[in-house]
Structure 1
Amino acid sequence: MQSASQGPAAVLIGPPGSGKSTVGRLLAERLGVPFRDTDGDVEAVAGKPVSDVFVEDGEARFRELEAEAVRTALDTHEGVLSLGGGAILHEATRDLLAGRRVVYLQVGLDQAVKRVGLASARPLLVLNPRSQLRRLMEERRPIYERLAAITVATDDRDPADVASEIAAAL
């Protein structure tokens, strides 16, 4: 297990619906460490939900807040850290993830759609959510794959089984 000075025990990345929050909580419990989600950190700083930050302040402002939240969490959090699906788009964030225990939770489009729901309040999926989700997944997949030290498929799997596989791989 890494110490606090070495950063998180595991950093979960993946598209919306991959299970980062659900699996992250289970993994943290299994490892006996705290769980942290950078979307929650953004909401705490902004004083409003992520969806409101997008609508009221714009995606650029959200990405600034997100990059700062990730940087802070990587420096201070020793448990399991879940990043927002687009956090990896920021070059400085990608640099900060180098050499860390990054786990890519891989999910197929059909599973992601079921998990996220097409009536979701996720800001990047407002218009034609299935098409938007497909586009996001295709654009980001190469980055997720490049950053990952561990890749775990989540389709048709119980989150507890996914958490167990990650714990064993760590």
Structure 2
Amino acid sequence: MRLTIITAALALSGGLAMANPVAPGDVAFDDYGAIEASLTGQPGNPDNGREIMIARGKGNCLACHEVTALKDAPFHGEVGPMLDGIGANRTEAELRGIVANAKKTFEGTVMPAFYKTSGFVRPGDGYTGKAAKEEDLMPILTAQEIEDVVAFLLTLQDG
């Protein structure tokens, strides 16, 4: 009983952070593609963001971007812009929007939407003739991972 009362008191006082992150379909982009509000209500962890940027199975940012601060990781790409100094040149809201869905800021970009679950063009299977399923996909990154990547990008002040 006591634990229930303490938990309820923390929840009412704001001691428990936003339990449910903003769902990908509910993200509020401004006219320029920025996302003002945190997707989780929690600050991002730049150390986790660094790891996500390097991870080939997650962000894989280095497949397209070069980042001097990540020079210890191999195979930096040249498709996207160098990210040195991005934290000094873009706001947190702009970075959050670009990482979540860069097409909202840069129409026609090849950068994938890391926090999107629907609205994809899916061709059918040419071999079997079966149409692609229309169900939602899982986002590439979670809301907290988006916040973590943004926190890391904000550390990139020199460039």
TM over 0.5: no
Q: TM-score, normalised by structure 2?
A: 0.26
Higher strand share: 1
